[in-house]
Amino acid sequence: MTTAYQKILAGINKVSRITEEDWNLCQAGLRYKSFKKGEFFIEEGKIYKEIAFVINGLFRAYYVIDGEEINCSFFFEGQWPKAYHSFLTQTPGKMWVQAMEDSEVFLLSYELLQSLFNTSRNWERFGRIAAETLYVSAQLRSEMLLLDKPADRYLKLQQQQPEILERIPLYHIASYIGIKQPSLSRIRKRLSKKAIAEVRL
């Protein structure tokens, strides 16, 4: 098994374990695709017929509201870029998903996943757990934006998703946590001063 296939199998098993027989049902239907930095995997107004698994690279998901891009998710290696509503309902979506780096993915079609869900209880369980995980993640993000102060949002990001701070430009991070970039710069400066003062103590 090639390294790329090993990565997606590990990513599937991280959600819910499947058997070798389950994997064989899936492997033949996988489609490899590469994206250049800036290219779109998903565009607003189109029906989303595939989900992706990131082998290498990075994507961001965002909405355009009154001409402003609002980031809602970032997808790193081992994660699944998706516009779930469009995928499940097979109706046009409102989300954009764009490669932030040169990226490589495996694609799984709607038809393939439906076949897997109907054929294998393990795959059906995979779909259920993936949907539950997505729901919890979406609710936590909503609560963060509604209930947490801006500085606390940044600190949470620092603690829970440090890879975002390492690989994503500051203006995209500001959009993701629901503030303007100048405000985020002030928060970072204030936290840095506080950390230096604590070290000196």
Q: Please tell me the predicted confidence (pLDDT) of residue 31.
A: 95
Say what the pTM is: 0.90
Nearest to 75 by CA among 46, 99, 96: 99
CA distance 180 to 171: 8
Give the sign of the dihedral formed by CA 118, CA 121, CA 123, CA 128: positive
* Residues in the chain with pLDDT values less than 50: 199
Q: Please tell me the predicted confidence (pLDDT) of residue 193.
A: 73
Residue 135: both structure tokens together:
């729901």
Nearest to 148 by CA among 177, 191, 123, 122: 177
